Structure 1
Amino acid sequence: MSGGLPPLRNRHVAVVFIVVMYALMGALLSALSAAVLSPASAWGWAAAVVGGCFGAAFGMWRIRRTPEGERADEDNAS
């Protein structure tokens, strides 16, 4: 074993993990910035939803932009 989290060795699980982490970070950052700018909680929830969507889209974009050699599983890498 050459490092890494064992559950994330599966390519599909790793993709879901990356997208979910970007979505959570986007939601957190946008909700915090909305809370600073406006005390209304409705704006915070709306910003969290929009930030989560943008974060997930950014995560998918980053996965697609990563070269195939870096995305390859150890079993398939040559």
Structure 2
Amino acid sequence: MSGGLPLLRNRHVAAVFIVVMYALMGALLSALSAAVLSHGSAWGWAAAVVGGFLGAAFGVWRIRRTPEGECADEDNA
């Protein structure tokens, strides 16, 4: 892997970063859509939690689906 953030060259740290970013995006989009559709704050929090879990699950699914050839090898970095 050439370039990128030096911290994210470690594949485990990069995997955690990807899952956290998908979780945050899922929580944000769910909370915003709940805020637009209903005016109750409880619905917004519930949607943010569910969106965060779904986003994290999607991130884990994407990481597991990545072909071995595309995964960076720690010895070659």
TM-score (norm 2): 0.93
Write out aligned runs for 1:22-41 (5 A): 22-41=22-41
Tell me which of the two structures has the higher relative contact order, counting C-alpha pairs closer than 8 angstroms and 6 or more residues apart.
2
Shift of 1:4: 1.1
Segments of 5+ residues of structure 2 without an aligned counterpart are none
Tell me how far apart the structure 1 counterparts of residues 50 and 76 of structure 2 sit (CA, whole Å). Answer: 37
Q: Would you say the 8 A contact 1:30–1:51 is kept in 2?
A: yes
Runs of 4+ in 1 over 3 A off after TM superposition: none
- The alignment partner of 2:12 has SS state of helix
- The alignment partner of 1:75 has SS state of coil
Q: Would you say the 8 A contact 1:9–1:73 is kept in 2?
A: no
Q: Structure 1 counterpart of 2:32, which letter?
A: L
Q: CA RMSD in A?
A: 1.6
Tell me how far apart the structure 2 counterparts of residues 10 and 2 of structure 1 sit (CA, whole Å). Answer: 12
Tell me how far apart the structure 1 counterparts of residues 5 and 54 of structure 2 sit (CA, whole Å). Answer: 26
Segments of 5+ residues of structure 1 without an aligned counterpart are none
Q: Who is 1:73 aligned against?
A: 73
Indicate the percent of aligned positions where both proteins have the same amino acid: 90
